[in-house]
Structure 1
Amino acid sequence: MTPCFTRTLAATALLSIASGVLSPAQAQDKLKVGFMLPYTGTFAALGVAIENGFRQYVDEQGGKLGGRTIEFVKVDDESDPSKAADNANKLVKRDNVDVMVGTVHSGVAMAMAKVAKDNNTLLIVPNAGADAITGPLCAPNIFRSSFSNWQPGYAMGKVAADKKIKTAVTLTWKYAAGDESVKGFKEGFEAGGGKVVKELNLPFPGVEFQALLTEVAALKPDAVYVFFAGGGAVKFVKDWAAAGLGNSIKLIGAGFLTDGTLEAQGDAAKGLLTTLHYADDLTNPKDKAFRLQYAKTYKLQPDVYAVQGYDAAQMLGAGLAAVKGDVKNRDGLVKAMEAARIDSPRGPFTLSKAHNPVQDFYLREVTGKVNRNVAIAVKGLADPARGCKL
């Protein structure tokens, strides 16, 4: 290359920068993804699984989505709603992320959704099922790759009614996710002729279950529907088994009760029935490939949280591919994400008008250390998205 030609190239580059016109290669700088997830506390393992799944999909694409190299910024949300707005604002205003991904705790996710709306920042929720996120708080820039709290609860309510269970007690942490899961269960169960005789709860993230188990024993329902996850789910299932209530009362729940927890629950979880949009023994090719690569990369078996993280990346990737990485083309990005058919390990799904997955829910039974798929509890279940004005 001659000195004259080199000087000409440099001058051209400087002129381009000065005039505000960048070449496609110059324009495609790194895209910042802000993970706001629990890395400590009850839900720590869930946050790690979500991040692992997201990174796996990005790695499969050579570290890029829509031609953009992904740069990650991480914040531990501590599952603490009181810190949520500040943490989300730091990601948006200090770290200048292009997209936020989070979180597990519904109360924290609600605050994230408000920050996303206020700042018009793209938000993908990879777990928290707060109904309001795809209900009254719905927005063009807010998407969910997981579920609404109503969905698995409703599916199990329908299953319980179909199984001719007549009476049930519900038991959960007293927070948005628990309350909404119970509402979903009650709607599905009572529509099929069942009756919820009492709703019991304890403060999040409490694990002192003994008094509640004593009350359940006195009420003598046919079944108990529970919503717990992470460390709390492990403690509850072990306490339930130790109390011997399973001999006369059926324990059922949303799938988070036994997802990612079976290793720690051991024999106490044997035979438990749950409903969820994923199971450990699905036979579709996408899931087989996903599970093999996940185990190879992380030396762990994936769970629903890893799947939801993986699919959050798939959704973002679909949008970025359509706009060739131009995240500022928000309308094009959103339209592409809305229209995407996600080839998920859980099975293909589309998005509702409120940006929540329309997906199959499986009835699973714990066999050994596997949430075995027994049947499809409800096919193509869409959240009602009550209050969404999109």
Structure 2
Amino acid sequence: MSVDIRRPISMARRWGPRALVVGALALFSTASSAAEPVKLGLMLPYTGTYAALGEAITNGLKLAIEQSGNRLGGREVEYVVVDSEANPGKAPQNMNRLVVGDKADVIIGPVHSGVAMGMLKVARQEGALMIIPNAGLNVATRQLCAPNIFRTSFSAWQTAYPMGQMAYDRGFRKVVTIAWKYSFGTESLEAFEESFKAAGGEVVKQILTPFPEVEFQSYLTEIASLKPDAVFAFYAGGGAVKFVKDYAAAGLKDSIPLMGSGFLTDGTLKAQGDAATGVLTTLHYADGLDNPTNTAFRKAYADAYGTQADIYAVQGYDTGLLLVKAFAAVNGATDDQKALIAAMEGAWIDSPRGAWIFSKAHNPIQPVYLREVQNGANVVLRVAGEAVNDPATGCAMAE
């Protein structure tokens, strides 16, 4: 079943007055640096476990800018690339290099939430314009939100909260939750539990496993003894492959349905094989979304890079679309950061995932989909949330 999502587009009307302000600011902006390239600092992983994610984000970003003539607001583009190595310890130094040393106009990164914490500290201190194309730690657009910080991906809350109601609607009343014991894992379980309890369900046990260990047998034995209606899990990458395969091998797949945020089955299906069939997930994208933007994007990406796009490529692409729109609104000028920020705040993104806009906390207000693994693909069953907006708890800009 395919789903054509267009209804969130109407939300763009609320940004009309802001768009007028941006236009006025642009008239008074000076393009003194127009002859110089716009300098984009990329701080993403290009080696190690997350290298494929960094590459996909970079490819998507460059594709969007190439489709705009390789220019932002009429200016050429220069990329300054730093390998984050997904190493939180190196994040402040690398961020300082891009902001102070290379004087990048915009910093794009990271993938890893631990790296994001180090980057956010420097961005807030230096007032550097930063766009997060993946890291989903809630605090980035909650307690640590700032006018110069934007996120084009998701919060941990957004990818898990909608599943609570979906689980209840499918008749599940008692659920066990399980995840790696680190921030994104615990935030995902908390978001699911918040929604599931509000609908009337009960989480009978929360299980946190050591990160990054992938020995699950004892936990699966405990789940079997608890006999819940279903299990909600957060794992990603190799951990997701191992968990889903072990879950099926333990004989739980047919008796206790498995659910999770979309990272449980995104980029992992080939390795999981038949073990993943029937797994339910919620995420802000699915390969087969039936909308013209997604169709055109997937063809262009495959033609350019010889591989299929994934959620990370989409998030990179949307970052590029945001930059194209914002720089066009200020005629390429970067000397008035307030005008550029206002242009970004007012952007409406016609994304492959479905149209979205920014919340007051600079996080996407976006559709989230309920998906089921069928024949080796994440198939969209329905819209789990049409315009899912993170609560932005603790963000002064959202108050």
Per the normalisation by structure 2, the TM-score is 0.88
Structure 1 residues 214, 127: CA separation in 2 closer, same or farther (over 3 Å shift)?
A: same
Name 2:262's counterpart in structure 1: 255
Once structures 1 and 2 are overlaid, which stretch shifts more, 88-97 or 46-55? 88-97
1:112 positional shift: 1.3
Q: Give the alignment of 1:152-231 within 5 angstroms.
A: 152-231=159-238
Once structures 1 and 2 are overlaid, which stretch shifts more, 334-343 or 96-105? 96-105
The amino acid across from 2:247 in the alignment is W
Structure 1 residues 26, 184: CA separation in 2 closer, same or farther (over 3 Å shift)?
A: closer
SS of the aligned residue for 1:201 comes to strand
The amino acid across from 1:340 in the alignment is A
Name 2:339's counterpart in structure 1: 332
Structure 1 residues 102, 204: CA separation in 2 closer, same or farther (over 3 Å shift)?
A: farther
Unaligned runs of 5+ in 2: 1-29
Where relative contact order (Cα < 8 A, 6+ residues apart) is larger, the structure is 2
Name 2:131's counterpart in structure 1: 124
Once structures 1 and 2 are overlaid, which stretch shifts more, 180-189 or 367-376? 367-376
1:186 positional shift: 0.6
Aligned pair 1:381/2:388, yes or no?
Answer: yes
SS of the aligned residue for 1:170 comes to strand
Of the two, which has the highest radius of gyration?
1
Once structures 1 and 2 are overlaid, which stretch shifts more, 46-55 or 350-359? 46-55
In 2, distance between residues paired with 1:204 and 1:36? 24
What is the root-mean-square deviation of aligned Cα atoms in Å? 1.6
Once structures 1 and 2 are overlaid, which stretch shifts more, 143-152 or 38-47? 38-47
Question: Which of 95, 100, 105 is the equivalent residue of 2:107?
Answer: 100
Name 1:65's counterpart in structure 2: 72
- Per-residue CA deviations over 1:165-218 (Å, capped at 9, x if unaligned) read 111121112111111111110111110111112221223332222232222222
Question: Which of 361, 366, 383 is the equivalent residue of 1:359?
Answer: 366
In 1, distance between residues paired with 2:31 and 2:319? 26
In 1, distance between residues paired with 2:181 and 2:75? 42
Question: Which of 63, 84, 88 is the equivalent residue of 1:81?
Answer: 88
Q: Give the alignment of 1:286-325 within 5 angstroms.
A: 286-325=293-332
In 1, distance between residues paired with 2:120 and 2:322? 17
1:26 positional shift: 6.6
The amino acid across from 2:330 in the alignment is V
Once structures 1 and 2 are overlaid, which stretch shifts more, 188-197 or 39-48? 39-48
Structure 1 residues 198, 320: CA separation in 2 closer, same or farther (over 3 Å shift)?
A: same
SS of the aligned residue for 1:247 comes to coil
Name 1:19's counterpart in structure 2: none
In 2, distance between residues paired with 1:222 and 1:82? 41
Identity %: 56
SS of the aligned residue for 1:27 comes to coil
Per the normalisation by structure 1, the TM-score is 0.90
In 2, distance between residues paired with 1:213 and 1:163? 22
Once structures 1 and 2 are overlaid, which stretch shifts more, 120-129 or 107-116? 107-116
Question: Which of 252, 268, 271 is the equivalent residue of 2:275?
Answer: 268
Matched positions, count: 368
SS of the aligned residue for 2:333 comes to coil
- Per-residue CA deviations over 1:331-383 (Å, capped at 9, x if unaligned) read 11111111111000011111100011111111011122321111001111111
Structure 1 residues 207, 328: CA separation in 2 closer, same or farther (over 3 Å shift)?
A: farther
Contact kept, 8 Å, 1:286 with 1:345, in 2: the verdict is yes
Aligned pair 1:29/2:48, yes or no?
Answer: no
SS of the aligned residue for 1:287 comes to helix
